[in-house]
Amino acid sequence: MKNDLRIAFMGTPEFAVASLRALLESGYSIPVVVTAPDRPAGRGRKLQPSAVKVFALQHGIEVLQPERLRDPDFLEQLKEHRINLQVVVAFRMLPREVWSLPQYGTFNLHASLLPDYRGAAPINWAVINGETRTGVTTFFIDEKIDTGNIILQRETAIGPGESAGELHDRLMHLGAALVVETVGRIAAGNLDTRAQKHLQSSKQAPKLDRENCRVAWTEPTGQLYNKIRGLSPYPGAWTFLEHGGDLNPVKLFKAAEAEIPEQGDPGQIRIKGHRWFAATGNGWLEILELQLPGKKKMAAREVLNGLELQVTSRFL
């Protein structure tokens, strides 16, 4: 049935490109790609295409960019391609009119071991919560978010110092391989799905926002260490730096747990040579990489060369 498949691929960021590339290299027919409309980006706010759009056009694939997924014109364009399978990777929630369209269904790749970490930011939250294992899941889409029947899963360890960005890149490739395997199972009619209806989990992955990315220095050292690496490199954990009477937001990208005998006041800053330490709820973190307002990301020792912190300087 492989030659019979006509796939519509739906995705937007670089994470999705790996799966699209893997499907093409495996010989599957993908006559159309659906991705987000071009958005303004950069200092000039020029319209920028998504990573998926760039890749698709390079490979001669038609690209659809609907603002509204229920738009009758978009649905008609999709139907004209005689699609019988839809593959979704890092896209938006689909209405029934779209996901129920193809004969063989619509499946999604999710970067967690469902039902754990349903939601928008599964990679970040797995690291933030100190998980030691995660993985990728393919599942058929239904009315709710990340609740459809599971097709396949693959598990992997999370390294003790691994950042969300590093894990993202590994899961991107692990997920691409799983997408190809899933399409192969569908093509061969060899599916053994399992329902999620009876599977519950308290581990959720809500959208990241300014509030849940802020560092609370009263939390334990290990928890703060996981939060910083779980938000690195994007969107970045942040805190206020009180310095010289000013209060400036600072992003933290890399830290390490530090052994300092005496306990400090949470948020207190201590400088030893070219090393920068901050007190937590039960110990100390060494700040290794950060970004000051209007500056590029820098190693802490480089920041200290141009910033004279005072005894009263602290994180809030």
Mind spelling out the 3-state secondary structure of the chain?
A: CHHHCCEEEEECCHHHHHHHHHHHHCCCCCCEEECCCCEEECCCCEEECCHHHHHHHHCCCEEECCCCCCCHHHHHHHHHCCCCEEEEECCCCCCHHHHCCCCCCEEEEECCCCCCCEECCHHHHHHHCCCCEEEEEEEECCCCCCCCCEEEEEEEECCCCCCHHHHHHHHHHHHHHHHHHHHHHHHHCCCCCECCCCCCCCCEECCCCCCCCECCCCCCHHHHHHHHHHCCCCCCEEEEEEECCEEEEEEEEEEEEECCCCCCCCCEEEEECCEEEEECCCCEEEEEEEECCCCCCEEHHHHHHHCCCCCCCEEC
Rounded distance, CA 287 to CA 203, Å? Answer: 28
Q: List, by residue range, all CATH 3.10.25.10 domains of the chain.
A: 221-315
pLDDT of 234 strictly over 80: yes
Asked if omega into 235 is within 30° of 0 (cis), the reply is yes
Q: 93-114 pLDDT, tens per residue?
A: 999 999 999 999 999 999 999 9
Q: Of residues 23 and 308, which shows the higher confidence score?
A: 23
pLDDT of 214 strictly over 60: yes
Q: 25-76 pLDDT, tens per residue?
A: 999 999 999 999 999 887 778 899 999 999 999 999 999 999 999 999 999 9
**pLDDT cut 70: percent of the chain above it:** 99
Rounded distance, CA 251 to CA 64, Å? Answer: 36
Residues in a beta bridge with 187: none
Q: What CATH number is given for 2-204 in this structure?
A: 3.40.50.170
**pLDDT cut 90: percent of the chain above it:** 85
Q: List, by residue range, all CATH 3.40.50.170 domains of the chain.
A: 2-204
pLDDT of res. 3 = 67
pLDDT of 308 strictly over 80: no
Band of pLDDT at residue 256, cut at 50, 70 and 90: very high
Residues in a beta bridge with 152: 138
Q: What is the pTM of this model?
A: 0.95
| Cβ atoms of residues 172 and 148 within 8 Å | no
Rounded distance, CA 280 to CA 223, Å? Answer: 10
Residues annotated as binding site for (6S)-5,6,7,8-tetrahydrofolate?
112-115
Strands of the sheet containing 133-140, edge to edge, are 62-64, 32-34, 7-11, 85-89, 106-110, 133-140, 150-157
pLDDT of res. 252 = 98
Band of pLDDT at residue 145, cut at 50, 70 and 90: confident
CA torsion, points 130, 131, 137, 143, in degrees to nearest 10? -60
Asked if omega into 233 is within 30° of 0 (cis), the reply is yes
pLDDT of 144 strictly over 90: no
Could you please state the CATH topology (level 3) that the domain comprising 221-315 is classified under: Methionyl-tRNA Fmet Formyltransferase; Chain A, domain 2 (3.10.25)
Q: 29 is written with which tokens? A: 């027919």
pLDDT of res. 2 = 60
Greatest C-alpha distance within the chain = 71
pLDDT of res. 313 = 86
Report the mean per-residue pLDDT for the chain: 94
pLDDT of 186 strictly over 90: yes
Q: Of residues 312 and 205, which shows the higher confidence score?
A: 205
Residues annotated as binding site?
112-115
Band of pLDDT at residue 166, cut at 50, 70 and 90: very high
